[in-house]
Structure 1
Amino acid sequence: MADEQGTVVIGAGPAGLTAAYELLRHGTPVRVFESDQVVGGISRTVERDGWRFDIGGHRFFTKVSRVEDFWHEILPDEDFLLRPRMSRIYYRGALYDYPLSASNALRNLGIREAALCMASYARARLRPPRDQSHFEGWVSARFGWRLYSMFFKTYTEKVWGMPADRLQADWAAQRIKNLSLSKAVLNALLPRRNRKDVTSLIEEFQYPKLGPGMMWERCAEEVRRRGGRVETGTWVTAVHRDPEHRRAISVSVDSEGGRRTEPAAHVISSMPISELVAALSPAPPPEVRAAAEDLRYRDFLTVALVVPAEFSFPDNWIYVHDPGVKVGRIQNFGSWSPHLVKDGRTCLGLEYFVFEDDETWRTPDAELVAAATVELERLGLIRPGVVEAGYVVRMPKAYPVYDERYQRNVDVIREWLAREVPNVHPVGRNGMHRYNNQDHSMLTAMLTAENIALGTSHDVWSVNVEQDYHEETAKQDGDGHRGTGRDAPIVPAPPVASVGGGPAGDEPSRSAPQGVRLG
């Protein structure tokens, strides 16, 4: 059992708040410190002038029963809506059903273009590209250049901010290893209704009526009601450790009231693992700091535009494969919940995948609203002059980047933490530098809470690795790995000296998730 000092939790997103709630369930005292003024992390609901925005879109669907139970313990059933799942792909002025519908695809492509796609596929099968080491070569070899350029290239490059021929093929092999053109056509001709055997094909999902932040605002209230502390606007600036006894002993926090030190028997961290390493005092050795500094993140911003309801669409979001615009995906918040919008109008959220230091991120809000309006008009989704208002929401470090060194970097950090500060517990997406979904982030927190409160020895790093979650069945690839369908892309990073005692990038990820379909 944890001693009377209790546990400090860094971050009040899904992982941090779940950990706090579960610790209190087991009678363990807890304090949560969140640097932002609101809880929920990327799963927050942002409210502006009565409009509510879901950052990235959060479908509440899981195969983890204890996560499902948790959701309904926090929120009563009447606070959940059962929503239809619908997504489509925008390409050359047409909307393509997702998953593929043969009649819809044929109608949009036309017989001539469909024939050209099949001819391109046949050529690729007869004379595949010589270089299949990168994403572009690997995918075009299996689908043909024409289909690749329509439905893979543009969106992938928008998400990761680099040419597809610089993305390594290891990720493509995992992401679409069980998909073939013949299988896609068969599924299109013989669709099965209400499929839940593949996560991406579920046809309905649960959704809190006021957005995902409703869950975490209520959870924070419950943590406080049960005797825990949740402080927002409070930044953890240092995690102090005792090298002799190999454990963390306290944290320093900054708030409006100044700086103070909080003792800790355990520290659960959902802050970016690179920032955790930087906060440790005394500092870790150079190779650990170098590994942390070498980790990268993809940032994210949403431009929300208020328009008349006539410009609504039934999709939760539309993937934009048009290279003529920067927007990667467009949400219709009214399709998530009517409680997010107002009568007679809806709000469309244009999502841009960016880096914090690039031009788009630095652009003033008014200019972003104007540019997004032009893109929405160019796509033909609204008429000129109908946008009534616009809002910009920025989300730094939304998605960990999985370059060819990230796995080795994470391994270096993870092994050092386990050896030198075993009472510091990384959890969640950024805490573990893994693209976990919300339910997987929550599960890492639940297992960590049990390890602290009950003395169990769950391996939280196995969450989203060995679980039969995203695949139709528990299939194994050629090296015996039980895949989840969510392995990471291997993307290039600037060359640096290798850390961790081996050649950089010599072991591609087998545990981190895919990055094309975010959210």
Structure 2
Amino acid sequence: MSTLRNGFNSIAILGGGPAGLATGWALEELGHTDYTIFEKSSVHGGNARTVRFGDFKYDTGPHRFHARHPEATRLVSGLLGPDLQEVDAPARIYWEGRFVDFPLRPLQILKSGGLGFAVKAATDLVTARIRSRNAAPPEDFQTYAYNWFGKTIAGTFLVPFSERLWGLPGPQLSPDIAGRRLPGFSVAGIIKETLFGSKKSDHLEGRFLYPRKGYGQISDKMAEKLSPGRLAYSQRIVGLETNRDRITSVSVKTGGEVRTVSPEAVISTLPITIIARMMDPQPPQEVLDAADKLQFRDVVLVALFIDQESISDAAVTYFQNPKYEFTRAHEPRNRSRDMSPQGKTSLVIEYPCFRTEDIWERDEKSIVDNLVRDLDQMGLIKGSRVFASDVHKMRDAYPVYSKGYKETSDIIKSYLSQFKNLWTLGRGGSFFYGHVHDFVTDGFSTAEGVRAYLNQPAGVGV
């Protein structure tokens, strides 16, 4: 093992979510054990946790692992072994009082929307594709969706759903959300399936890998790879002190006490907006303004525990109608039978929001009662069979891709890049709606970069 220049705490990792845990694991693989992961809560895993409720387990969102990145798949498969199982489950949408496969097929559009809607949708789609051939690249998501699908399909499904999901009007959303995975689907995938069709097993959820004990098992296994004492809980980062091109100290609050550590390298998975605001001396006003402009979406999760064996075979159900505050639901047992006790099931429903909205502070009983009523009226569940519930809130769940977000986030990233001993990664640290396979590979590449920095001869790069 290399001798690092600052002994204990020579590496500070801020955040114990998948990105932070993967970086710690990677450092272990490289022979570095003098790091500390500072996690503000009492548990690790961040927003990719598995929550326990009695004999039930549920994830903080319908996460899944796709074997599209060979290196990440190799690493995670090595962690979980036979517990990483293949799942094949469909997606569906609640539309016009019916649950239908999603994306919608032409026949489903005809059945659910009627002949008039189907003809108008087809006409709009063809017209939009012709008109957009020589059009300039769209500057906002609404224009993008209209160009690809026509106003009938885009205006009925994609635009209103995306507006509820991200909390902004369609013209204020970046077209980049079409190329990124929205929570639950990608517009590119919808285009392919709607226009050209695909196999049933290649639907929106499709065939994917999933840990037998819940998605949080990935984080749990990464945590097991860490040396004893390297993962510190209930440690809130409250300040970063800088001197020229280095982070010189990190202030950590535990209970009512604030202490300072002086790491040689800092790896942050915290939102870049938070990092920018807590720096001392303060960044230039341009950076602070950018931090104020960027937004993260929060999520209120409601888990319903139900006295019946199964609700459906769907991996996820989307709710298109704007009258509902919730956007999607998933049944954990459809990913792994270990998520619910025998003869019972659960349903996890998501309310995307900002913390300034009413739903964030609303009485939990009111949320649950209204939700059960709505789902009962749809025919999705029988309200009388719901015997318990749990409400879980997630801050800064994913970055909002508003128009101009890239230029705005680049202002902060450019400023942070001047600090030679600071690395940022993860959803918040990169302002990128990535996934665990991204975070695992990013963690390993970050660890390599930190090792190279720390192993420089004294005086080089300092």
Structure 1 Cα separation of the partners of residues 287 and 297 of structure 2 = 22
2:293 maps to: 294
Letter of the structure 2 residue corresponding to residue 59 of structure 1: R
> How far has the Cα of 1:257 moved from its partner?
7.6
Say if 2:172 and 2:402, in contact at 8 Å, map to a contact too. no
How many corresponding residue pairs?
443
1:345 counterpart residue number = 344
Q: Which amino acid aligns with 1:44?
A: R
Match of 2:444 in 1: 446
Instruction: Output the aligned Cα RMSD.
Output: 2.9
Change in CA separation of 1:229 and 1:171 when aligned onto 2, cut-off 3 Å: closer
Which residue of the other structure, out of 211, 215, 218, is the alignment partner of 1:215?
A: 218
Counterpart for residue 241 of structure 1 = 242
The amino acid of 1:82's aligned partner reads E
Q: Tell me which of 114, 118, 130 is aligned to 2:118.
A: 114
2:145 aligns to what?
139
The C-alpha deviation readout for 1:249-293, integer Å capped at 9, x for no partner, is: 221211148322222010000011111112222322322222223
Q: Give runs of aligned pairs for residues 155-234 of structure 1, distance below 5 A.
A: 155-169=161-175, 171-172=177-178, 184=193, 187-188=196-197, 191-192=198-199, 194-195=201-202, 203-225=206-228, 229-234=230-235
Match of 1:516 in 2: none
1:402 match: secondary structure: coil
Q: What is the match of residue 458 of structure 2? A: none
Q: Give me the whole-angstrom Cα distance separating, in 2, the residues matched to 1:224 and 1:185.
A: 49
What does the per-residue CA deviation read over 1:400-448, in whole Å, with 9 as the maximum and x for residues that have no partner? 11223432232222222222x2101101110111111221122222111
The unaligned stretches of length 5 or more in structure 2 are: 456-462
1:437 and 2:441 matched:
no
Alignment check: 8 A CA contact 2:91 2:204 kept: no
Contact 1:21 1:223 in 2 (8 A): yes
Matched AA of 1:87? A
Secondary structure, in 3 states, of the residue corresponding to 1:81?
strand
CA separation of 1:67/1:308 partners in 2, compared to 1, >3 Å: closer, same or farther?
Answer: same
TM-score (norm 2): 0.87
Deviations 1:326-370 (A, max 9, x none): 110011111121111122111111111100010011102111111
Letter in 2 for 1:247: R
Work out whether residues 67 and 209 of structure 2, in 8 Å CA contact, stay in contact via their aligned partners in 1: no
5+ residue gaps, structure 1 = 458-519
Which residue, out of 94, 97, 101, partners 1:97? 101
CA distance in 2, matches of 1:319, 1:177: 14
Percent identity over the alignment is 28
Deviates more, 1:112-121 or 1:339-348: 112-121
- Matched residue SS, 1:95: strand
Q: Match of 2:276, as an amino acid?
A: V
Q: Is 1:58 paired with 2:63?
A: yes
What TM-score do the two structures reach when normalised by structure 1?
A: 0.78
C-alpha separation between the residues in 2 aligned to 1:294 and 1:338?
Answer: 43
Structure 1 distance, partners of 2:180, 2:55, is: 42
Q: Matches of 1:218 and 1:206 in 2, distance apart? A: 16
One-letter amino acid matched to 1:163: P
Offset of 1:30 from its aligned partner? 1.1
Q: Cα 1:65–1:127, aligned 2, differ >3 Å: closer, same or farther?
A: closer
Q: Match for 2:220: what amino acid?
A: E
Q: Does 1:81 align with 2:85?
A: yes
- CA shift, 1:149, in A, is 2.7
Q: Letter of the aligned partner of 2:196 in structure 1?
A: N
Shift of 1:388: 1.2
**Structure-1 separation of matches of 2:139 and 2:248:** 47
Per-residue CA deviation, residues 373-424 of structure 1 (Å, 9 max, x unaligned), is: 12212322123422211111100110111223432232222222222x2101
Matched, 1:9 2:9: no
